[in-house]
A and B are shown apart, each in its own frame.
Chain A
Amino acid sequence: MTRRRTILAAFAACVAGVAAHAQPLPDPAFSEREVRQILAHGPWPPRRQHDASNRVSGRAAAIAFGARLFADPRLSRTGAIACATCHQPGRAYTDGLPRAQGLAPTDRNTIGLANLRLQRWFGWDGASDSLWAQSLRPVIDPREMGSDFVQVAAVVRADADLRRRYRAAFGAPPAAADEAVAIAVAKALAAYQETLVTGRTPFDNFRDALARGDVAAVARYPAAARRGLAIFVGKGRCNVCHLGPNFTNGEFHDTGIPFFAGPGRVDPGRHEGIRRMQASRHNLLGPFNDDPARSTATATRYVAQEHRNFGEFRVPSLRNVARTAPYMHNGSLATLREVVRHYSEIDEDRLHADGERILRPLHLSAAEIDDVVAFLDSLTD
Chain B
Amino acid sequence: MLRGTTDRVENAHYEIVFVAVPSPIEPGKHFALDIAVCPRGGALPPGTLRVDAVMPEHRHGMNYRPVVVARGGGRYRADGLMFHMPGRWDLHFDLVTSAGTERLAAARHVE
The verdict on A303 contacting B64 (CB below 8 Å), with A243-B28, A356-B58, A356-B59 known, is yes
Of A249, A308, A355, A357, most B-chain CB atoms within 10 Å: A249
Q: Which of A240, A252, A356 is close to B86, meaning CB atoms less than 8 Å apart?
A: A240
Stretch binding the partner chain, chosen from A174-182, A294-302, A372-380: A294-302
Is A304 in the interface zone, CB < 8 Å from B? yes
Is A37 in the interface zone, CB < 8 Å from B? yes
* Residue interface mask B72-103, A partner, CB < 8 A = 1: 00000001101011110000000000000000
Of B66, B86, B87, most A-chain CB atoms within 10 Å: B86
The verdict on A249 contacting B85 (CB below 8 Å), with A36-B111, A37-B111, A302-B79 known, is yes
CB proximity of B67 to chain A, nearest CB, Å: 7
Is B30 in the interface zone, CB < 8 Å from A? yes
CB proximity of B30 to chain A, nearest CB, Å: 5
Is A244 in the interface zone, CB < 8 Å from B? yes
Within 8 A of A (CB), among B47-72: 55, 57-67
Chain B contact residue count (CB 8 A cutoff): 23
User: Within the assembled complex, what's the spacing in Å between the Cα atoms of A139 and B59?
Assistant: 39
A residues within 8 A CB of B82? 299
CB proximity of B90 to chain A, nearest CB, Å: 15
* Residue interface mask A10-49, B partner, CB < 8 A = 1: 0000000000000000000000010011001000000000
Q: Nearest CB to that of A302 among chain B residues?
A: B80
Q: Nearest CB to that of A357 among chain B residues?
A: B59
B residues within 8 A CB of A250? 28, 84
Is B39 in the interface zone, CB < 8 Å from A? no
B residues within 8 A CB of A240? 85-87
Q: Nearest CB to that of B79 among chain A residues?
A: A302
* Residue interface mask A289-330, B partner, CB < 8 A = 1: 000000000110111101010000000000000000000000
Is B27 in the interface zone, CB < 8 Å from A? yes
Is A162 in the interface zone, CB < 8 Å from B? no
The verdict on A303 contacting B87 (CB below 8 Å), with A40-B111, A250-B28, A298-B30 known, is no
User: Within the assembled complex, what's the spacing in Å between the Cα atoms of A306 and B60?
Assistant: 11
A residues within 8 A CB of B67? 302
Q: Nearest CB to that of B65 among chain A residues?
A: A304
The verdict on A252 contacting B63 (CB below 8 Å), with A40-B111, A244-B28, A299-B30 known, is yes
Q: Nearest CB to that of A270 among chain B residues?
A: B63
Q: Nearest CB to that of A355 among chain B residues?
A: B60
Q: Is the CB of A302 within 8 A of B65?
A: yes
Is A358 in the interface zone, CB < 8 Å from B? yes
Q: Which of B28, B60, B65, B111 is close to A356, meaning CB atoms less than 8 Å apart?
A: B60
CB proximity of A335 to chain B, nearest CB, Å: 27
Is A52 in the interface zone, CB < 8 Å from B? no
B residues within 8 A CB of A357? 57-59
User: Within the assembled complex, what's the spacing in Å between the Cα atoms of A244 and B66?
Assistant: 24
Of B67, B85, B111, most A-chain CB atoms within 10 Å: B85
CB proximity of A187 to chain B, nearest CB, Å: 24
User: Within the assembled complex, what's the spacing in Å between the Cα atoms of A249 and B58?
Assistant: 15
Q: Is the CB of A249 within 8 A of B84?
A: yes
A residues within 8 A CB of B60? 308, 355-356
Is A381 in the interface zone, CB < 8 Å from B? no
Q: Nearest CB to that of B80 among chain A residues?
A: A302
B residues within 8 A CB of A36? 111
A residues within 8 A CB of B62? 304
User: Within the assembled complex, what's the spacing in Å between the Cα atoms of A153 and B94?
Assistant: 52
A residues within 8 A CB of B64? 299, 302-304
15 A-B residue pairs with CB within 8 Å: A40-B111, A239-B86, A250-B28, A252-B63, A298-B30, A298-B79, A299-B64, A302-B30, A302-B67, A302-B80, A303-B64, A355-B60, A356-B59, A357-B58, A358-B85
Interface residues of B (CB under 8 A from A): 27-28, 30, 55, 57-67, 79-80, 82, 84-87, 111
Closest 4 CB pairs of A and B: A302-B80, A356-B60, A304-B65, A302-B64
Interface residues of A (CB under 8 A from B): 33, 36-37, 40, 239-241, 243-244, 249-252, 298-299, 301-304, 306, 308, 355-358
Other than A243-B86, A303-B65, give 13 A-B pairs with Cβ distance below 8 A: A33-B111, A36-B111, A240-B86, A240-B87, A243-B85, A251-B63, A298-B30, A298-B80, A302-B79, A303-B63, A303-B64, A304-B62, A356-B59
